[in-house]
Amino acid sequence: MAQGVFQVPSSLFWILCSTIICHFMHEYISRYIFQDISLLPPQRHASVSRSANVSSVWCHSIDSVLRCNFKNLCYAAKENQFIFFLTGESVISGVNMKEIKSLPVSSVANHNLLSINLAVVSNRNAILNRHRINHGSIFLLWRFKWDNIMHVLHDDLIPLFFTYASLCTDDIENCIRRYRLGFVDGGDAGELAEWYRVFSNSDPLFLHQERSDNLICFDEAQTGLLRSSSWFQYGFGRPQGPLGKKYINQKLMYQFTNYIFSRFDVQKNHNVVGYKPVLLFSRRLNRRILNEDHLKTMIMDSYHSVIPETSKLLIISLDVAANDTKSILSAVHSSDIMVGMHGSAMIFSLFLSPGSVVVELFPFGIIPQYVSPIKAWAETEGSGIIYKSWENMKEFNSFPHPDAPPLLGGIHHLPVAEQMAIKNAKLVPAVECCHNSLYLYRIFQDTVVDLDFSKVFKQALLEKHKFSLENFTENYSNREIMLHYFPAPVSNIICSFENRKLVISWQPPINININSTLYKVAVVSNKDLQFTTESSVPNITVPLQTTLLGNVDFDIWIKSVAQKEESTDVYAKCHIHMP
């Protein structure tokens, strides 16, 4: 029987049928005549189906990110495609499915590849015939650059930690127990896989590695990394650089670093008791410090000239390519001075305590404020880092590599005129991502560090010597209060009439200093009287015209102003009889 030839209205059908046979016929007609699921009436009085062939999603926007929670979402491994089974029982809240057909799953903004593709199908699609592998709860993540510790922390794990704090109301351990990480980027595990493992309830799932016809399905799939912890952007759609004046929740950052120390079983290194350890991050492949031994001597001499009472100074050389994670974290946890060439290793400054010194070195022509996430981090409110940069200002101390591969600073593939223009350029402007030849040529230079470093290092040590953790903590607490403070509304507005004067009084807000508060008052009457005024005390007295007689209604609005912040308006209506 062709669809649409024989269609019995549902209500009439049930009136005509009263037997089990009729019920069977109704089910047959519904299933085989109404092939389009959208034609089926919703089962409003039935309980919500828990069928694995029904998907649902709840989305909401937070921190400029669309965060979505899916139920019964599947992944078709053969097509590298996520499958959403749309039926009359699906719940779609906060979003239209057309809006999330390409759903971002990274914290990096303005990048059009860091997303997953969703296909909406009916629950009668042939894909349901495939073998199903069921999982529990998954958090889907596109790792931006999983082989670079700076990107792993800034773009993936810190945003994930902040997201977990939001999802599980600061019970981050609960979120980690709840979710397994699912990688959708197509990359391998990489040498930094252990960092991701501590944020997943089991080994992360690499979805692209499943090459069969199977469906990989999840009871729950969460997407959407918060961006409130990001402080640097890499030049997608605009020149690279810091994300402006940035507020980052330092309490959560402190929790993050403590969590990492705990999961990697890192304690302060008691082997260096009696010594003052200084960390020097080395690079062995590119962007090298060519006179590293001389740099160590400058560090030693500068330190003793500023703090002569300390006789034992231990300089610890570290290389992220040669040292394991726990060794690096242990050294950082035991130190409060870090020196190194600009590069991913400097992100370990996040794990230093307030009052620590970071001196970042830069090759010739590189401008720190354009390229350094560490400088940007140190300038966020409450970082507590004493940051200084040393820039190589002498081109003869710079050793580029024009014959290297293009992505490592080589320019031999370019026309001669362009090569000469790059060599003659003395400063690299802020550039957009990602393969600017001038930037790569300069950023991968090797460098001889000269005596100017000693001046920079000494200045940092002098600031460290003056640093007070008590003052820092108090100032940060005050900044937090100022950031979030606003005066509460006034209360208990009372009007009275005395000697042809209107007296309005109120109770001050509960969270203000009475002596430093201003009140703004607006009054409108039904006798064409209206005015606004300000008062430094919680009352005003207004002389009234003798022509005002009888019953007068006054509409009154009052708000307080304290520390340049305003409260909400409080409204009151007063009725006064004037003889």
Whether residue 212 is predicted with pLDDT greater than 90 in this model: the reply is no
Q: Are residues 154 and 265 in the same domain?
A: no
Give backbone dihedrals phi and psi of 520, rounded to 5 degrees, phi first.
-110, 125
Residue 31 lies in a domain: no
- The pLDDT tens digits of the residues spanning 445-500 come to 999 999 999 999 999 999 999 999 999 999 888 888 888 899 999 999 999 888 88
> Which is more confident, 24 or 236?
236
Q: If you search the block for the tokens 């090459």, which residue do you land on?
A: 211
Which secondary-structure segment (H or E) carries 480? helix 469-484
The answer to whether 1 and 29 have CB atoms below 8 angstroms apart is no
Residue 546 lies in a domain: yes
Q: Please tell me the predicted confidence (pLDDT) of residue 481.
A: 84
Whether residue 46 is predicted with pLDDT greater than 50 in this model: the reply is no
Q: Are residues 75 and 201 in the same domain?
A: yes
Which secondary-structure segment (H or E) carries 220? strand 215-223
Q: Are residues 163 and 275 in the same domain?
A: no
Complete DSSP assignment for 335-359: -SEEEEESSGGGGGGGGSPTT-EEE
Could you tell me which residues come within 8 angstroms of residue 234 by beta carbon, excluding any fewer than 6 positions away? 108, 240, 433, 434
Average pLDDT, the chain: 87
Q: Are residues 378 and 527 in the same domain?
A: no
Whether residue 556 is predicted with pLDDT greater than 70 in this model: the reply is yes
Whether residue 270 is predicted with pLDDT greater than 70 in this model: the reply is no
Q: Which two tokens stand for residue 267?
A: 């304690």
Q: Please tell me the predicted confidence (pLDDT) of residue 75.
A: 95
| Whole-structure pTM value | 0.84
Q: Is the torsion defined by CA of 464, 468, 473, 474 positive or negative?
A: negative
Average pLDDT of the residues in 548-559: 86
Count Cβ neighbours within 10 Å for each residue of 355-384 and write b for 16 or more, e otherwise. bbbbbbbbbbbbbbebbbbbbbbbbbebbb
Contacts 24+ apart (CB under 8 A), 479-486: 479/381, 479/382, 480/382, 482/563, 483/247, 483/381, 485/511, 485/563, 485/565, 486/565, 486/566, 486/567
Q: Which amino acid is at 66?
A: L
- The pLDDT tens digits of the residues spanning 113-172 come to 888 889 999 888 888 889 889 999 999 999 999 999 999 999 999 999 999 999 999 899
Q: Are residues 471 and 328 in the same domain?
A: yes
How many residues are recorded in the chain?
579
Whether residue 23 is predicted with pLDDT greater than 90 in this model: the reply is no
- The pLDDT tens digits of the residues spanning 372-415 come to 999 999 999 899 999 999 999 999 999 999 999 999 999 999 99
The answer to whether 61 and 67 have CB atoms below 8 angstroms apart is yes
Q: Are residues 82 and 197 in the same domain?
A: yes
Count of CB atoms situated within 10 Å of the CB of 107: 27
The domain that holds 298 is classified in CATH as 3.40.50
Whether residue 39 is predicted with pLDDT greater than 50 in this model: the reply is no
Q: Are residues 538 and 458 in the same domain?
A: no
Whether residue 16 is predicted with pLDDT greater than 50 in this model: the reply is no
Domain of residue 184, residue span: 56-206+215-230
Strand-pair category, 132-141 with 180-183: parallel
Q: How far apart are CA 205 and CA 186, in angstroms?
A: 11
Q: Are residues 498 and 467 in the same domain?
A: no
**pLDDT band (50, 70, 90) for residue 267:** confident
